[in-house]
């Protein structure tokens, strides 16, 4: 992957995590959880798309559709698996 492709991937993954946080709300810890989940899910989705040779909405070397689906799954899983009480101990 080239540097512009990596920067695009990072930007899209960050936007997915930040957008999910904007939609779901929460504090700084919840934002960090969503950003990490978005990055991890985006990367895993891209790798799965590469392994399955999915070429839908491909931008250069980036499997955009499978990466965004991976980010969405990871974000929903993070919201479902981590209760609000665990992350809300901020003062």
Q: Could you read off the pLDDT of 55-85 as tens digits, one per residue?
A: 888 898 999 999 999 999 999 999 999 876 6
The whole model's pTM is what? 0.86
Between CA 78 and CA 1, with CA 15 as vertex, the angle to 5 degrees is 100
State the pLDDT confidence band at 38, using cuts at 50, 70 and 90.
very high
Bridge-based pairing of strands 62-63 and 58-59 is antiparallel
pLDDT attached to residue 85: 64
Task: Say how far apart CA 35 and CA 23 lie, in whole Å.
Answer: 13
The mean pLDDT value of the chain amounts to 90
Mean pLDDT of 43-62: 91
């Amino acid at each position: 992957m080239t540097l512009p492709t990596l920067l695009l991937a990072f930007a899209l993954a960050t936007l997915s995590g930040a957008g999910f946080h904007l939609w779901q709300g929460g504090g700084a810890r919840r934002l960090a959880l969503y950003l990490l989940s978005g990055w991890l899910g985006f990367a895993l989705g891209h790798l799965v798309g590469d392994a399955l040779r999915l070429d839908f909405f491909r931008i250069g070397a980036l499997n955009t559709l499978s990466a965004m689906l991976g980010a969405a799954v990871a974000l929903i899983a993070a919201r479902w698996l981590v209760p609000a009480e665990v992350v809300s101990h901020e003062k």
